[in-house]
């Protein structure tokens, strides 16, 4: 049997030396190899509150943040609104119609109409939208005047509704949306002339004064008139009106509002009693007082969904103007802060879209929509909290009413469209779709290879 001769000791020593030398080289190489570098724009991880703030700041800075904020906040507000409309209207609906779901199903129908229309608005070219500027504002004027015809309907003492077949619509709610489109179109055309105060005021201010006069004078709707003036003042501020003109417009609006309030004994009593509604609790302070009681009894986490006590006949209009009081009673401070946070998210998205827009029409349109929804939200919540007089303004996207809900959803759809067409956001969406197609192609190739192997 052949045996292998042992390796000379010199060879063994050389092999061991070469092995140790190689191990030393490997260790040296692993130690001297450069560590992976961090991208220069990557955020530095920091502990504690500062780390959370850095993460929030980097998230808000992403190009698609306004797009997702608008989608998420609107969906949540619609869901909360449907839930609270069902709860707040259940008692009055049962008394009037024998079922607790009458107003809820009608609101659900308006949502089913408004959401597809909003989806169409997200795909509408901006130049097509501008074509509707003059027709929509003149149509709104005709509808407001039509409330005084035989088609007009009186609700709660104000003749500001219009009966169109089986539907009743409030033209003043449509006028808010039409006014924003028209103002954005006018100011976009006058973009290079807005340094002259005459072009800033004419024709916007006279036309808004006419429209507001018709809404308040004919229909008696002071709340909508104030919202129209708020839209006008916000647009003047956005286009850079001189401070003296802006202050003059604010003074004029205040004087006119006070004068109109004195022309009605009901408005005057609400104006003089809103600071302390319990002074005339059985009279002018009834609605505000019960709204405060509902908010106060909710506590931190609320009584629970459907457990409101104020909706059992004590609180007038619980599912429309004072739905925030029912929401505060059932969902507590946590629920009210959530609603406020959602509205602030929409406001942030709208302001960012307006600041980043290169098209003047998009800039003014986004600013006008943001001003409208934010001002109406602040007026409604201030009214419920007795910080403002009761003037009958619904809470956007939450209160019952198709005349207000559908234009609001269309306006949100336009904001989403503006967010999608912002250059950085459009690029990010294209990259995301491209990556999605790439992943689907990679996953499809192994599947085809497996089927081919089985066939063989």
Q: What is the pTM of this model?
A: 0.84
Residue position matching structure tokens 């429309």: 320
Instruction: Provide the 3-class DSSP secondary structure of residue 89.
Output: helix
**Cα–Cα nearest to 402, from 413, 414, 394:** 394
366's CB contacts (< 8 A; 6+ apart) are 350, 353, 354, 357, 415, 418
**Cα–Cα nearest to 106, from 436, 401, 433, 387:** 401
Contact 389, 270 (CB under 8 A): yes
pLDDT of res. 74: 98
pLDDT of res. 45: 54
Cα–Cα distance for residue pair 193/112, rounded to 1 Å: 42
Cα–Cα distance for residue pair 296/142, rounded to 1 Å: 43
pLDDT of res. 30: 43
Cα–Cα distance for residue pair 79/87, rounded to 1 Å: 13
Instruction: Provide the 3-class DSSP secondary structure of residue 169.
Output: strand
Contact 395, 80 (CB under 8 A): no
Cα–Cα distance for residue pair 212/175, rounded to 1 Å: 10
Cα–Cα distance for residue pair 13/23, rounded to 1 Å: 15
pLDDT of res. 395: 97
pLDDT of res. 439: 72
Which H helix or E strand runs over 168? strand 167-169
Q: Nearest 5 degrees, angle CA 317-CA 319-CA 323?
A: 95
Contact 325, 291 (CB under 8 A): yes
Tell me how far CA of residue 384 lies from CA of 87, 271, 291, 315, 378, in angstroms.
18, 14, 6, 11, 10
pLDDT of res. 443: 56
pLDDT of res. 152: 92
Contact 182, 134 (CB under 8 A): yes
Report whether the peptide linkage leading into residue 203 is cis, meaning its omega lies within 30 degrees of zero. Answer: yes
pLDDT of res. 241: 87
**Cα–Cα nearest to 80, from 334, 399, 321:** 399
Residue position matching structure tokens 């040296």: 28
pLDDT of res. 441: 63
Cα–Cα distance for residue pair 67/415, rounded to 1 Å: 8
Half-sphere exposure of 133 (CA within 13 A, CB side): 18
Cα–Cα distance for residue pair 83/91, rounded to 1 Å: 14
**Cα–Cα nearest to 133, from 190, 80, 71, 62:** 190
Cα–Cα distance for residue pair 146/163, rounded to 1 Å: 10
Q: What is the mean pLDDT of each run of 10 residues along the chain (456 residues)?
A: 45 47 45 50 63 86 93 97 96 93 96 97 93 95 93 86 88 95 96 90 92 88 90 92 82 80 73 78 84 93 93 89 96 97 97 94 97 96 90 94 96 96 88 79 54 47
DSSP single-letter state for residue 175: H
Contact 223, 214 (CB under 8 A): no
Tell me how far CA of residue 24 lies from CA of 10, 11, 18, in angstroms.
21, 20, 10
């Amino acid at each position: 049997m052949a045996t292998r001769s042992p390796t000379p000791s010199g060879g063994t020593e050389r092999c061991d030396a070469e092995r140790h030398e190689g191990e030393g080289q490997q260790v040296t190489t692993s130690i001297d190899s450069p560590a992976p570098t961090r991208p220069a724009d990557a955020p530095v991880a920091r502990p504690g509150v500062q780390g959370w703030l850095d993460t929030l700041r980097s998230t808000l800075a992403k190009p698609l943040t306004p797009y997702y904020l608008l989608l998420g906040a609107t969906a949540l507000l619609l869901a909360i609104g449907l839930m609270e409309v069902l709860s707040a209207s259940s008692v009055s609906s049962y008394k009037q119609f024998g079922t607790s779901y009458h107003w809820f199903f009608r609101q659900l129908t308006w949502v089913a109409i408004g959401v597809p229309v909003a989806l169409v608005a997200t795909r509408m070219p901006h130049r097509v939208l501008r074509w509707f500027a003059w027709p929509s504002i003149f149509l709104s004027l005709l509808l407001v005047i039509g409330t005084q015809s035989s088609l007009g309907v009186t609700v709660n003492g104000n003749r500001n509704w219009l009966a169109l077949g089986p539907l009743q619509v409030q033209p003043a709610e449509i006028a808010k949306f039409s006014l924003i489109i028209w103002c954005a179109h006018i100011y976009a055309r006058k973009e290079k002339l807005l340094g002259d105060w005459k072009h800033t005021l004419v024709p916007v201010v006279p036309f808004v004064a006419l429209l507001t006069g018709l809404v308040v004078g004919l229909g008696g709707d002071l709340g909508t008139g104030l919202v129209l003036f708020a839209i006008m003042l916000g647009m003047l501020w956005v286009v850079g009106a001189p401070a003296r003109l802006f202050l003059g417009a604010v003074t004029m609006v205040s004087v006119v509002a006070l004068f109109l309030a004195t022309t009605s004994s009901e408005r005057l009593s609400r104006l003089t009693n809103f600071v302390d509604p319990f002074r005339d609790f059985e009279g002018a302070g009834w609605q505000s007082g019960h709204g405060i009681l509902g908010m106060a009894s909710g506590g931190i986490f609320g009584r629970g969904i459907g457990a409101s006590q104020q909706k059992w006949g004590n609180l007038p209009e619980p599912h429309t103007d004072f739905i925030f009081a029912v929401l505060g009673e059932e969902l507590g401070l946590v629920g009210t802060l959530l609603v406020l946070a959602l509205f602030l998210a929409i406001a942030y998205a709208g302001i960012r879209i307006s600041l980043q827009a290169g098209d003047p029409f998009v800039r003014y349109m986004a600013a006008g929509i943001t001003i409208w929804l934010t001002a109406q939200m602040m007026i409604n919540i201030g009214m419920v909290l007795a910080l403002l007089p009761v003037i009958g303004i619904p809470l956007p996207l939450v209160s019952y009413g198709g005349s207000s809900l559908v234009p609001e959803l269309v306006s949100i759809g336009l904001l989403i469209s503006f967010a999608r067409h912002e250059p950085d956001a459009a690029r990010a969406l294209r990259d995301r779709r491209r990556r999605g197609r790439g992943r689907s192609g990679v996953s499809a190739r192994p599947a085809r290879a497996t089927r081919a192997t089985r066939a063989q």
